[in-house]
Structure 1
Amino acid sequence: MIQSYFSSVKTALILSTAIKHYHITREMVKDLEGYLRIQASLVDNGQMDIFIYVTSNLKITLEKYSFHWQDKDKKLVMRWDNAPHHRELENFPHHLHLEGETRPSTEPHFMDVLRELERRLK
């Protein structure tokens, strides 16, 4: 189940109009947990760093994640993550970092993040 989920992430990166190429820096798949770390180069010469840690018990659960998007000058554009450091926000621990601010967020699906990237890079 986890291997299939990771395969769908990699396929989406291959098919995306926003991704120039990507490199898997770490992938670990066990029966009940999986870890995936990817660096993706974007068509505008920016970069997306993807970190996904999932568990599986009849369904995939996104336990930890970070989708860090930076421009070609390495300046943060957006980062979705669930690091537990913004307890004051609704929907803690899920949040979105933008230039100079942090907003509450819902747990993102990877495809939603990729669609937002494609929409903004059109």
Structure 2
Amino acid sequence: MEIADYIRKVKRKLSESSIVNSFTIVDERILFDRGYFRARVLLTNGDFLEIAEAFTSIDQRIVTISYRYQWMDASKQKLRKRWDNVEHFPDLPNFPDHVHVGDELNVQPGESRNILQIITVIEREIEIL
């Protein structure tokens, strides 16, 4: 998949997702073999989500390089979850991928996910809330 195609898929997912009320693109870059996408998303339940992903295309496949997806309550004061791969928890399984759950200090092992996958994860979690 080409970089521009992936960004189009991300925008389509945000536009069509049942949990997305609106979104604002903060930054979008398409280079020869790399891309970056960052957006602020207002969810239908009032929560706030900020998504940022740097990625590349290898053999027609999108590969995530770095990511940060922060899901907060409507006041933007309470963290629901933040998925990222900043290398600051080397002792966790699946390092550097991890998730902060409910609090900055509650850190659990995570797995690399792209924006399309994280929207699907949050769709499922909101359904059970």
Smaller-chain TM-score bracket: over 0.9
Query: What is the one-letter code of the residue matched to 1:18?
Result: I
- CA apart distance, 1:108: 1.6
Which of residues 104, 111, 119 in structure 2 aligns to 1:114? 119
Pair 1:81-2:71 in alignment? no
Aligned to 2:72: 70
Query: What is the one-letter code of the residue matched to 2:83?
Result: W
- CA apart distance, 1:119: 2.1
Normalised by the size of structure 1, how large is the TM-score? 0.94
User: Deviations for 1:35-58, whole angstroms, at most 9, x for unmatched residues?
Assistant: 111001111111110001011232
Identity of matched residues, %: 30
Report runs of 4+ in structure 1 exceeding 3 Å deviation: none
1:85-96 to 2 correspondences below 5 Å: 85-96=88-99
Normalised by the size of structure 2, how large is the TM-score? 0.89
Query: What is the one-letter code of the residue matched to 2:46?
Result: N
Give the Cα–Cα distance (whole angstroms) in 2 for the partners of residues 113 and 43 of structure 1: 16
Segments of structure 2 that go 5 or more residues without pairing to the other structure are: none
Secondary structure in 2 matching 1:25: strand
- CA apart distance, 1:99: 1.4
Aligned to 1:54: 55
Q: CA RMSD in A?
A: 1.2
Aligned to 2:107: 102
Segments of structure 1 that go 5 or more residues without pairing to the other structure are: none
Give the Cα–Cα distance (whole angstroms) in 2 for the partners of residues 99 and 76 of structure 1: 5
